[in-house]
Structure 1
Amino acid sequence: QVEEPDIFAGIKPLEHAGRMEVLFACAEALHAHGYSNEACQLAVELATDLLSNPPDLKVEQPQAKGKKSKVSTSRQTQTATNTLSKAAFLLTVLSEKLELHNLAFSTGMFSLELQRPPASTKALEVKLAYQESEVVALLKKIPLGLVEMSTIRERAEQLRDGNLCDYRPVLPLMLASFIFDVLCTPEIETHQT
């Protein structure tokens, strides 16, 4: 009996980032075709990974003196827009289950707190602002418990004191707007968790 050659022998295993992209595409497909439970399981894994391995959006400033030299931020801008898009999807999927609201909230807050450089073009900056506003709209649909309100108050104090982060070339306007809206909403609308 002749042994058949392994047709997958030459395929290299995916590195972590590639694996996450494949899982994300699977989660989107499952959700689009109505397999919400399976999409939710993948979304939990993806959100946990996103929170534990944040994208690096920092740009090294050139040390050259004299003429101003512009630093290209197109890679960081693309990473930021991809991250916001993924966060919005994860928020949509995770917010469908009551027990995952805290993870959905954490994912949304994480995406609004991204420390990123200004976008490489005005059009991309507008796109990023729109994506952030989508995340805010999704966050506003999640009932806020004591843990979430505590996080929001903590972020408000950090914003007020100017120590939210060590690297912030772009002000977190959508984050500040969301915090303001939540803190100005009557207490009746928040839920205990």
Structure 2
Amino acid sequence: MAKAPTGGGKGNSKREGDELLWLETYFILFPGKRRPTLTQVERALTEANPRLRLKNLAADEDGLFASVLIESAEDNAAVEVSYEMGDAIAEQNMQWAKELQSKLTPKQLQLIVSADARLDVAHFERVPKGGAGSQPKPVTRDVEPDDFGAESSWDDDEFGEDEVDMEAAMEVFDPTCLLTVVDALQGLTKGLTFDPAAGEIV
């Protein structure tokens, strides 16, 4: 997950008792040999948008990227990124390759088959406690005023209660933070971004 300098804009002040509402998770698939260093991730994200705030930066003993939390005060959003690798990841990537085979170019298929690592990119919206947010029934997480998103996990069993009109929601919802992070990290790893909810390559 990532962290960086603070920027101004709407939603810049932290409100006590805010919640993070989980919206979606993307996966960036790539070979583990391309795992970036924490410094490379910081640089890529800061260059993509200097106003992103990078927090909870973590690396392994060799300085390779492990995780980061990215906050965007401008659109009240947060993105949590973590590095995953191993046999289970490679097997999952192979399964996705089979499912997506008819939709992929030969180059994309080869990339997924050779991928044994990925970045999990989880997108959150920040709203006042008890607020519905801009999306219907999202997963919620309590946020301490001085520790926004300190944990790297969320509760899949907690959901908001209010129904939201989808057309109105899409007018309010701004995916800029997510897309900025995904573009920067995909370029850094030369990976392929998969949206599991849509079942397609982004």
What range describes the TM-score normalised by the shorter chain of this pair? under 0.3
**Bigger Rg over Cα:** 1
Higher relative contact order (CA 8 A, sep 6+): 2
Q: Whose helix proportion is higher, 1 or 2? A: 1
Q: Normalising to structure 2: TM-score of the pair?
A: 0.24
Q: Normalising to structure 1: TM-score of the pair?
A: 0.25
